[in-house]
Structure 1
């Protein structure tokens, strides 16, 4: 199984267009050993030609140009993307669907019922696409059930609900529904090897840790280093309050990942522009390296 990291940053990317935090300022000045990042998305393939896209960020056009395996090869109008799985209905994971409106066939979109409702009400992007390429929507299970995607005979997918909130625009923002955010297991049937993907994790529920333990590679939430990290840029919101488990501190992501089998490949994705791990020379990044935890970057290729 082949995974391409199309975007590894959180909403806004890195540097964020209106941010003058320490990381963004130093990156613009060339004073930091760090890579720019677009907003988070991955693609998974069994053969290197046909791909399942996970989330469609506002940066999708640039991401596809930077990843030749997903570019057209078979005709004047073509793409390597055969299906799209939406983890949630957040703006930074769905706005890119509008860029894909020029598709020559309806988009094959897999999403949970709450996500579908948000994308046909508060942010009616799926309704809008009905006037362009069209959409074939497929319900995404939220109880851990398996499903397959036509054209990917050697891949089996499982999805389960995560503790989360709907996007700020959602009609049920303050009334969380199971399926507002999901984690996904991708299994290669022929080898039995598994990827666990969850870019937004606010809590490690028992079924989540069970999925992480069973995976050969986990690609999970790396948004913030500390719970109060956003205070440095004037926000009163804490990481856990907006659905992201910080890496450091008691019960943090480092502690969770250290409990996984030694052979599990552990990679953080969805890195916020304020996170000190973006600085590859920082003590925080060194702490991750010593723990055997990787940090995803744009165009990263992962084989599982």
Structure 2
């Protein structure tokens, strides 16, 4: 009897997620750090949302964008990690075609949205430092809502072609995905037709959406640094630059691992597949885990509120 995973089919009812090929015997042990990272991400991001909601002093543009970032991190991690852990713990490798497309869409949509939120936060820092007298009139609550909706609309529309393109391709070789989640390029690679449209569109999203976000952030910080260096005293320069540290750390956490992974994927042909996948999985969880820690440690208002909660919870 032929293997059901490699028989001819046009529209597969299910895909098979392999987890980390070659390391199946170690799946249970591999799951432990990922489970800890996921729990940390959930607790950290919900804590940020709770603290901002409960502290009236944090009801401002910077913290509203931080809440959007926390929600985005929660969606990105939750769209992938529960199924990943099910594979590692229960060998639950099957995912139906529609669920795979939904996972693919939410993962890529909110990843693009996270990039847009960093742009919005860079704009907030630019106005606060370069034009502080107009900050409260430019970034009003309605303006923040409109920016958030614009980021959401942009990401949802940009990523929308992904599942539609994936759905139209014929799949006649295999339905095995050699990783623990449905990523766009991983599914496209299973098609048995010319998929250059999907590949070119994915490249367009990286260059013209993520690339433009990086350029805008770089331009914002060029102006911010010029404004900081024009301040009269060293103390004023350090204090003003300190308001940007959290944002800069979060940006580096998001973009640098992404750049490293992209370079490794394209030029690291001699790197074992299981190492590629491990690095990719760690990269996906780094921003959701580290962002709450960065902002919790570096932002005085959040840190003070957390300390107050812990020290007064019994009173």
Which bracket does the TM-score occupy, shorter chain normalised? Answer: under 0.3
Task: Determine which structure has the larger strand proportion and give its number.
Answer: 1
Greater RCO structure (CA 8 Å; 6+ sep)? 2
The structure having more radius of gyration, on CA atoms, is 2
TM-score, normalised by the number of residues in structure 2: 0.26
Greater share of helix: 2
